[in-house]
A = this chain, B = another copy of it.
Amino acid sequence: MKFLEERIKRDGRIYPGNILKVDSFLNHQIDVGLMDKIGEAFFEAYKDRGITKILTIEASGIAIAYSAARFFKVPLLFAKKSQSLNLGNDLYTTTVSSFTYKKDYQVTISKRYLSAEDHVLIVDDFLATGNAIIGLAELCRLAGAKVEGVGICIEKGFQSGGKQLREMGYSVTSLAVIENMTDDGGIVFKS
């Protein structure tokens, strides 16, 4: 999936502490042509899995999920983040620890929209610690839905999330896997 690596090399900005900013094209300003290619790549990877729903988490996963959902011709569902613990009984809820923001938050979906009939493709922009994806997989487990795959735009290969998800048995397709970054702006992708 060289197209995303090339875009990251061209337009990504690296800051000290392994921070990669891709907000000119992926998660603040969004290049819809690029996003269409991302959705198509996930479709190619999982088109034979009988996907019935694309699941992501607000906010930066939504455009990615929408692009994928157009190719699969299925609905997308985005989980909501909440700091409230008092969320009502019509929701599936789990807790996610944010590495970036150093706090826990609740992730919820309505019970109406995910069931044991569903075959789910989870998508998101980044995979680092894997906590958000594991939370989404947990919502699927609560609903009895099957996770058929996980589609990630950018995996930080030097963090543990990808390894952990694959060890849990999930099929993970990352369009760009970063092996390492240097504070002077260098970036090496896993070949």
Contacts and interface: CB of A to CB of B under 8 A. Distances in A.
Interface of A: 23-25, 28-33, 35-36, 58-59, 62-63, 66-67, 69-70, 73-78, 80, 109-110, 112-113
A77 B59 CA distance: 12
Contacts of A36: 70
A58 B63 CA distance: 11
B31 A75 contact: yes
A35 B66 contact: yes
Given A59-B80, A62-B63, A70 B29 contact: no
Nearest to A34: B75
A15 to B, nearest CB: 12
A48 B139 CA distance: 44
A63 B80 contact: no
A89 B73 CA distance: 42
Nearest to A70: B32
Given A23-B110, A112-B24, A30 B63 contact: no
Given A30-B75, A62-B63, A66-B67, 9 more contacts: A23-B113, A25-B75, A28-B77, A28-B78, A28-B80, A32-B69, A32-B70, A32-B73, A59-B80
Contact of A28 (B25, B66, B73, B113): B113
A75 B109 contact: no
A21 to B, nearest CB: 9
A30 B56 CA distance: 12
14 contacts: A24-B112, A24-B113, A28-B77, A28-B80, A29-B75, A29-B76, A30-B75, A30-B76, A30-B77, A32-B69, A35-B66, A58-B59, A59-B59, A59-B62
Q: Of A29, A67, A73, which is in contact with the most chain B CB atoms at under 10 Å from its CB?
A: A29
